[in-house]
């Protein structure tokens, strides 16, 4: 018996996976396949490399009957052109013994050529949201037959600023459909998207493989607020012998920028920052400098840090406590690689205690507490989200987002209910527009001066 048979697929699919040389399903495939087959909405938390693509392709292909119709019945949205190509390839390799047509569309190539390809018809459409939206606006494609929607690497997609396109694409889809989403990290934006568009989704996740917890010494500090965290971090980083290569995680770009400003004052050129509002070139340059040891400290947001490969990080500092425990596992996995012992330090405020508890529950491990150093100044200054709620500007704000900084997308829940349409396009555009890459400009200016 083929080990894939526990997934309750079909002979054609068993043959295809066997020919690909896979002898048993990966844990995410075992967990996600039955849920996808059940027809319920699914949220899968899994990184690239776990076999997540087959985890949704296999059950989808099992239920996709032969058809000659032109309009797609399965829509898979992914953030990048490379991923479109990869998913189409995987879909084709699995459907070797099925009669299924998969087509990929993405930006950066001639749209007319893709319009012709689309007109030929397909069963599975794999697309980046930007190009798909353009095709929809041009009436080149009709999504009314879509029964299953997959959004893969949704964290990256939202971080790249595709929320606007995604929300608009939902308007072209039939209401009755199965939603399947995969994300490596949970963020408030992802959570808000699920809240808005998914119906009672089943969450499936796998333990983060290859995270050698035994190899990582973990510690935590109870810290009053943001600026006290800044003081504590500066205090620790003063020990240059010990803190040689430090990756500092911050959940939000805004707070990451704020921390960068503060650290830059003290550590100047020793500090770098990356998040999705920085240009790709700037990110590559910053990561290279950190990797080579030119800079000692790198501030990063969760989603962006995932795509980079770093050697020998001595310390991971969790400047904030991730609201989603899986993110903590991803973060600390960046240190303690290979035979090296890594160190992880977590800062938590009273508001973040619950999130820390969730992390400890997930690991089944109590993170050793270090006493707050007496010589570090406790700041009284509060940042906007630490001030009492009455004075926040928007009374409709979803309180769930207050935990670690307030995600902008929570405010948009009401807006998505499609009332009050007058002039909404401009308003939306304004809301979703990416903040300017101020950090990049400063970087350029500084470098010019030299």
Using CB under 6 A, list all residues that contact ligand AMP. 22, 25-26, 29, 48-54
For residue 26, count other CB atoms closer than 10 A to its CB: 18
For helices 11-19 and 81-94, give the axis angle rounded to 10 degrees: 120
Interatomic CA distance for residues 212 and 40, integer angstroms: 34
Nearer to ligand AMP, 152 or 264 (CB): 152
Mapping DSSP to helix (H, G, I), strand (E, B) and coil, where does residue 374 land? Answer: coil
Nearer of residues 25 and 323 to ligand AMP, judged by Cβ: 25
- Min dist CB 50 to ligand AMP, Å, is 5
Characterize 341-379 residue by residue with b for buried, 16 or more Cβ atoms within 10 angstroms of its Cβ, and e for exposed: ebbbbbbbbeebeebbebbeebbeeebeeeeeeeebeeb
Provide the minimum distance between the beta carbon of 93 and ligand AMP in the complex, in angstroms, as a whole number. Answer: 8
Strand ranges for 72-133 from DSSP E: 74-77, 102-105, 124-127
Residue 56 beta carbon to ligand AMP: minimum distance, rounded to whole angstroms: 9
Q: What is the number of the residue whose Cβ is closest to ligand AMP?
A: 53
Comparing CB distances to ligand AMP, the nearer of 75 and 248 is 75
Could you give the 3-state DSSP secondary structure of residue 347? strand
- Provide the minimum distance between the beta carbon of 287 and ligand AMP in the complex, in angstroms, as a whole number: 22
In angstroms, the CA 158 to CA 245 distance is 29
State the nearest-atom distance from the C-beta of 91 to ligand AMP, in Å: 11
Q: Which is nearer to ligand AMP, 84 or 356 (CB)?
A: 84
Tokens found for residue 56: 């949704």
Q: How far is the CB of 25 from ligand AMP (least distance, A)?
A: 5
- Between 90 and 222, name the residue whose CB sits nearer to ligand AMP: 90
**Which of 30, 188 has the CB closer to ligand AMP?**
30
How many Cα neighbours within 13 Å face the side chain of 339? 0
Closest CA to 124 of 92, 96, 81, 97: 92
């Amino acid at each position: 018996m083929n080990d894939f048979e526990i997934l309750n697929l079909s002979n054609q699919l068993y043959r295809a996976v066997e020919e690909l040389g896979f002898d048993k399903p990966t844990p995410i495939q075992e967990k996600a396949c039955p849920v996808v087959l059940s027809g319920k909405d699914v949220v899968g938390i899994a990184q690239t490399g776990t076999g997540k693509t087959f985890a949704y392709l296999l059950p989808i292909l099992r239920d996709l009957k032969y058809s000659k119709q032109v309009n797609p019945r399965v829509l898979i949205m992914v953030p990048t052109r490379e991923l479109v190509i990869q998913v189409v390839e995987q879909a084709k390799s699995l459907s070797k013994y099925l009669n299924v047509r998969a087509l990929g569309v993405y930006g950066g190539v001639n749209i007319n050529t893709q319009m012709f390809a689309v007109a030929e018809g397909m069963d599975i459409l794999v697309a980046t949201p930007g190009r798909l939206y353009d095709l929809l606006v041009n009436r080149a494609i009709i999504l009314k037959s879509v029964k299953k929607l997959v959004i893969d690497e949704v964290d990256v997609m939202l971080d790249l600023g595709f929320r606007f396109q995604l929300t608009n694409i939902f308007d072209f889809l039939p209401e009755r459909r199965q939603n399947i989403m995969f994300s490596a990290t949970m963020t408030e934006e992802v959570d808000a998207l699920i809240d808005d568009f998914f119906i009672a989704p089943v969450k499936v996740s796998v333990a983060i493989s290859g995270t050698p917890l035994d190899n990582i010494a973990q510690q935590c500090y109870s810290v009053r607020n943001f600026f006290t965290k800044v003081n504590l971090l500066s205090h620790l980083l003063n020990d240059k012998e010990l803190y040689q290569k430090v990756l500092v995680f911050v959940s939000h770009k805004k707070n990451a920028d704020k921390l960068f400003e503060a650290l830059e004052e003290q550590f100047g050129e020793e500090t770098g920052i990356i998040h999705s509002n920085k240009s790709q070139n700037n990110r590559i340059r910053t990561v290279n400098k950190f990797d080579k040891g030119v800079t000692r400290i790198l501030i990063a947001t969760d989603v962006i840090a995932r795509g980079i490969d770093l050697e020998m990080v001595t310390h991971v500092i969790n400047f904030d406590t991730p609201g989603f425990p899986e993110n903590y596992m991803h973060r600390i996995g960046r240190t303690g690689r290979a035979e090296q012992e890594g160190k992880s330090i977590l800062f938590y405020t009273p508001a973040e205690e619950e999130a820390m508890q969730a992390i400890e529950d997930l690991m089944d491990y109590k993170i050793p507490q270090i006493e707050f150093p007496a010589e570090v100044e406790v700041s009284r200054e509060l940042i906007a989200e630490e001030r009492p709620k009455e004075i926040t500007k928007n009374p409709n704000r979803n309180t769930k987002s207050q935990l670690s900084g307030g995600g902008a997308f929570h405010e948009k829940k009401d807006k998505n209910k499609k009332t009050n349409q007058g002039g909404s396009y401009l308003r939306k555009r304004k809301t979703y527009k990416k903040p300017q890459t101020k950090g990049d400009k400063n970087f350029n200016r500084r470098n010019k001066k030299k």
